[in-house]
Amino acid sequence: MIGLHGVRRRARKDKKKCFTALLHHITIDLLEQSFRQLERNVASGIDKMTWSEYEDNLLKLLPELLEKVHNGKYRALPARRVYIMKEDGRKRALGI
């Protein structure tokens, strides 16, 4: 079994398998591959950074992100919350 593909196969085969050490599979290559699979033409995130702005600094940002993930210091920012009016006058939360 190789990398995450092996983990995925094992998890499908043995539904009760407990995986305890997977962090070593998170690499800069995996982070970059994941970034490249994101939609490019979407609204900026809560940090106000667009896909292309992040890409411009990718070589600097990915090693920093990887270090935070491996050190347990990474915390995802909360979704930007907007409330839209419903026909009955109530408001509905919308996470962006």
Nearest alpha carbon to residue 53 among 40, 67, 66: 40
Output the pLDDT for position 42. Answer: 86
Burial class (CB in 10 A: 0-12, 13-18, 19+), 72: exposed
Nearest alpha carbon to residue 20 among 32, 30, 11, 31: 11
Output the pLDDT for position 3. Answer: 83
pLDDT at 21 over 90: no
Q: Is residue 20 part of a domain?
A: no
Residue 25 neighbours by CB distance under 10 Å: 12
pLDDT at 70 over 70: yes
Which helix H or strand E contains 92, and what residues bound it?
strand 91-95
Q: Which residues contact 10 (CB under 8 A, 6 or more apart)?
A: 1, 17
Output the pLDDT for position 76. Answer: 85
Q: Is residue 3 part of a domain?
A: no
Domain count, the chain: 1
Instruction: Name the pTM for this structure.
Output: 0.70
* 33 DSSP assignment: H
Q: Is residue 4 part of a domain?
A: no
Residue found by looking up tokens 């990887």 in the block: 66
Output the pLDDT for position 11. Answer: 92
pLDDT at 1 over 60: no
Q: Give the residue numbers spanning the domain of 50.
A: 26-95
